[in-house]
Amino acid sequence: MAVAALSSSASPAASAAAPDLCFHCGEPCPPATRLFVERDEQRLPVCCAGCQAVSELIFSSGLARYYRFREGQARTADLDVDELLDAWSRCDERRALWGRDLGGGRFDLLLQTEGVRCAACSWLIRSRLEPRDGIERVQVDVGSGYTRITWRPERIRLSEIAATLARSGYRPHLPLAEDEERGRLRERRDALLRLGVAGLGMMQVMMYAVGLYAGESLGISAGAERFLEWTSLLVTLPVVLYAGRPFFEGAVAGLQMGRMGMDVPVSLAIGIAFVSSCVNFFRGAGEVYFDSVVMFVFFLSAARTVQLLQRHRNLQGGAALARLLPEWAQRVDGDRLETVLLGDLREGDRVRVTPGGPFPADGHILEGRTRVDEALLTGESCWLERVPGDAVVGGSLNRDHSVDMVVSAIGQDTTVSALGRLLLQAGGREGRGAGLAERTAGFFVAAVLTIAVLTGLAWWSIDPTRVLPTVLAVLVVSCPCALSLAFPAALAAAGRRLLRDGILLTRADSLEALAAADRAVFDKTGTLTAGRPELARVTLNPDHPMAETLGEHGARAVAAALETHSAHPLARAFRGSGAPLEAVDVQAIEHRGLQGRVDGQAWRIGSAALVCPGGPTVDEADAAGPVWLGNDAGWLARFSMRDGLREGGGRLVERLADRGLRVTVASGDTLDAVCRVAKRLGIQDIHAELSPEGKMALVRALQGQGHTVLMVGDGVNDGPVLAAADVSMTVPGATELANSAADLILTGASLDGVGAAVDLARETRRVVRQNLAWAVAYNLLALPLAVSGQLAPWMAALGMSASSLLVVLNSARLARGCTLAVTAVDAPVKDAGQAVRA
């Protein structure tokens, strides 16, 4: 649990502005109390006897390290407040960053605060910010880490707000998609407020109800009984009208659209119970059901709120993305460095990124080499080497050395923004499965209403006084909440789990098709292969004088030294070859290669024309053409290239075959090239030299044979076929267009995610079936009891909620389960590691 930044109380700015902060709990000390804890000759202020006692206890038990531990948890160590203050002070005069104008000089600022973990954090932020002049109201949403501040810019500066947050251990960020976030925050607050009202109401009414029941047996005075009933009525009123409003609204909206949602019986139950209780109350005869009404509203609100929070949690990936990009960048202007706001960065700007810092935008490395950490973006856990010419993604972390980059995409065009948009879309889309559940529920509702009416009629003839409780029990107990939760709850949990594994689920219902898939069609280029050449073979020229001394290994080292200076795609294939050598006097020769000196020896590397005019001709169809190395003595080595495979392909083919999915490769490439790749991966079913229409025809043909087809591609030439397949998945590097059409998007470089997604989809299908089975079984069991008058309305409310809760909890298992680790047992160790990381 993250609490205070202890260093903050020592900083001069803080102590000048505010009273002493309690050393232990971080709350301001009341001015009158003079309590201290002695530590290392120092007198540390504490706010109350309790904190004093705890703090003394901690010191005297030799656990002073607890405070350092706590501080470390709050990650204050990483925060350089002065630097932050300096950077944020650049925003002070920018109205656009002040938040929404509320009029009267008040602004509504939304900040993403990193490090918020629990209610204590929320409390700490509020207790630090709210006493400050110029700040009117602070709300912290613990779930998403957003802090909403109503403030007056003429009284306090934006940078002071930011610094106050930072001093408390929370790094502030500007939000990524402000409007959506605001909407969700409001939705969540509303839901919690309603739930709170219903919950508190329930406690009070139940308290009175027990009083009433007990009174019946013990003999309560008529006046006291009347008073308790009055109180119940008054407390129930806001519960029904405020907390229960969404149900009535939902029912009305549904009926207007000609649909019978589950809100209809819910509203009927609440309405009938409340109105009849009121009538009986004023009549002074008959039963009152205020306790059942509040209980019902509370439980239903609880189920809805849990569902809402689950759905929002899926979107928090979007919120987390906002933290990846820094607010500022170091722009290189001639030989000057200036700190500029991210929003002021333009395409083509040269930016310096220091070790440990994030890349502010998409672009290419200009100067220097380093390793970058893309774990937060793609789930790729290894740090990737990047040299001049390589692309870097905004939001990834620079790990090793200071590098300069040129910006190629900013703002909404960056990969991070695109991911964020996709995530938001995914959260907003209603799945087909959910729609189906809704329709089933509609049918169900009609049945429930019919049964309720029949029950009412039956009891009317048996015992008219029992019509009301029985009908209420039927309505409540058979409320198809569990049924309509069965799909969405499971899909939400699965989506969250996939996201952690580096897979974006853009259409939740596609998991159904994925679970059913029995054919997997892969594109080759860019999908099975990484679109990156790798060294296939080295051929030495035995006639060259240096062939003996250098050997194959030495030739590769020389080539690697020279190619370090090249930005050509082929140059990457030499990385990490042999012992590092240093090349000097390297010059690029337009379109043909490089020349330079390695160990005092002059070398040329590049095309055959450059290295050995008149040498041996190309005798082999190399995808990327061979690279030649030589000097004035002739050619030394020829490096054959091939398209490198994407990681995890072999494992994936095995895993899919294991799951009963037959793997097909469909490529536009030559049969020869496709066969080579397919052979390496163990794929037997090969279709080569296909046009985009050909690929589509293949998929259609498979579908015609009754197969459910999963298509995996990168979008180049296979956009239509991705759309035609039952379920589609794209790999990293896929086109934006393909991503927006795909059902699932892999963000990690390895293909393991495909297998993981298939497994999770099947697991999800199982959980959904369990949920449905449970919902149906519950109703079959409970309905007869309710119809026969065995259940009191409050028992029905309890049963209904327990049933819904079970469905939600069963689904939540998907988010934490360990299907990936289990299925990776037979895979190599590295694969297992990848899976366990989930």
Site of interaction with other proteins (CB under 8 A): 1-4, 22, 24-27, 30, 47-51, 53-54, 56-58, 60-63, 65-66, 69-70, 73, 117-120, 122-124, 126-127, 140-143, 188, 192-193, 195-196, 200, 203-204, 207, 210-211, 213-215, 218, 221, 223-224, 226-227, 230-231, 234, 305-306, 309, 812
- Rounded Cα distance between 713 and 102, Å, is 48
Confirm if 685 and 662 have CB atoms less than 8 A apart: yes
Minimum separation from the CB atom of position 354 to other proteins (A): 32
Minimum separation from the CB atom of position 427 to other proteins (A): 17
Confirm if 5 and 13 have CB atoms less than 8 A apart: no
Please identify, using beta-carbon distances, which residue of 306 and 746 lies nearer to other proteins.
306
- Rounded Cα distance between 368 and 764, Å, is 46
- Rounded Cα distance between 112 and 28, Å, is 24
Please identify, using beta-carbon distances, which residue of 26 and 254 lies nearer to other proteins.
26
Residue 356 is inside which H or E element, if any? Answer: none
Give how far Cα 6 sits from Cα of 3, 10, 25, 47, 119, Å: 9, 8, 10, 14, 19
Please identify, using beta-carbon distances, which residue of 218 and 825 lies nearer to other proteins.
218
Confirm if 555 and 518 have CB atoms less than 8 A apart: no
Minimum separation from the CB atom of position 122 to other proteins (A): 5
Other CB atoms within 10 A of residue 509 CB: 20
Minimum separation from the CB atom of position 493 to other proteins (A): 11
- Rounded Cα distance between 101 and 746, Å, is 40
- Rounded Cα distance between 435 and 508, Å, is 11
Minimum separation from the CB atom of position 443 to other proteins (A): 31
Please identify, using beta-carbon distances, which residue of 121 and 365 lies nearer to other proteins.
121
Minimum separation from the CB atom of position 698 to other proteins (A): 46
Minimum separation from the CB atom of position 804 to other proteins (A): 14
Please identify, using beta-carbon distances, which residue of 119 and 457 lies nearer to other proteins.
119
Other CB atoms within 10 A of residue 57 CB: 10
The HSE-up count of residue 422 (CA atoms within 13 Å, CB side) is 28
Which residue has 């990484």 as its token pair? Answer: 530
- Rounded Cα distance between 471 and 273, Å, is 10
Distant-in-sequence, close-in-space partners of 268: CB < 8 Å, separation ≥ 6: 251, 449, 475
Minimum separation from the CB atom of position 44 to other proteins (A): 15
Minimum separation from the CB atom of position 375 to other proteins (A): 24
Minimum separation from the CB atom of position 30 to other proteins (A): 8
Other CB atoms within 10 A of residue 23 CB: 24
- Rounded Cα distance between 248 and 443, Å, is 19
Minimum separation from the CB atom of position 716 to other proteins (A): 43
Please identify, using beta-carbon distances, which residue of 49 and 609 lies nearer to other proteins.
49
Please identify, using beta-carbon distances, which residue of 142 and 449 lies nearer to other proteins.
142
- Rounded Cα distance between 712 and 725, Å, is 9
Minimum separation from the CB atom of position 243 to other proteins (A): 13
Confirm if 587 and 596 have CB atoms less than 8 A apart: yes
Angle at 188 between CA 186 and CA 192, to 5 degrees: 120
Paired strand residues for 503: 746
Give how far Cα 609 sits from Cα of 540, 618, 626, Å: 18, 11, 11
Confirm if 710 and 520 have CB atoms less than 8 A apart: yes
Please identify, using beta-carbon distances, which residue of 24 and 157 lies nearer to other proteins.
24
Please identify, using beta-carbon distances, which residue of 124 and 754 lies nearer to other proteins.
124
For 650, counting Cβ atoms within 10 Å of its Cβ (0-12 exposed, 13-18 middle, 19+ buried), the class is middle
Minimum separation from the CB atom of position 222 to other proteins (A): 8
Please identify, using beta-carbon distances, which residue of 65 and 769 lies nearer to other proteins.
65
Minimum separation from the CB atom of position 666 to other proteins (A): 44
Please identify, using beta-carbon distances, which residue of 288 and 550 lies nearer to other proteins.
288
Minimum separation from the CB atom of position 773 to other proteins (A): 24
Angle at 397 between CA 391 and CA 402, to 5 degrees: 80
Confirm if 740 and 503 have CB atoms less than 8 A apart: no
Please identify, using beta-carbon distances, which residue of 42 and 221 lies nearer to other proteins.
221
Minimum separation from the CB atom of position 465 to other proteins (A): 26
- Rounded Cα distance between 202 and 794, Å, is 12
Which residue has 């205070």 as its token pair? Answer: 4
Please identify, using beta-carbon distances, which residue of 294 and 477 lies nearer to other proteins.
294
Distant-in-sequence, close-in-space partners of 558: CB < 8 Å, separation ≥ 6: 550, 581, 598, 603, 629, 636
DSSP labels, 21-55: BPTTT-PBPPTT--EEEEETTEEEEESSHHHHHHH
- Which DSSP state fits 430? P
Other CB atoms within 10 A of residue 620 CB: 10
Confirm if 784 and 801 have CB atoms less than 8 A apart: no
Minimum separation from the CB atom of position 126 to other proteins (A): 8
Please identify, using beta-carbon distances, which residue of 39 and 568 lies nearer to other proteins.
39
Residue 640 amino acid letter: S
Q: Which two tokens stand for residue 156?
A: 């306090």
- Rounded Cα distance between 339 and 421, Å, is 28
Minimum separation from the CB atom of position 121 to other proteins (A): 9
Please identify, using beta-carbon distances, which residue of 128 and 642 lies nearer to other proteins.
128
Residue 782 is inside which H or E element, if any? Answer: helix 752-787
- Which DSSP state fits 582? -
- Rounded Cα distance between 710 and 755, Å, is 11
Please identify, using beta-carbon distances, which residue of 145 and 420 lies nearer to other proteins.
145
Please identify, using beta-carbon distances, which residue of 497 and 695 lies nearer to other proteins.
497
Please identify, using beta-carbon distances, which residue of 401 and 816 lies nearer to other proteins.
816
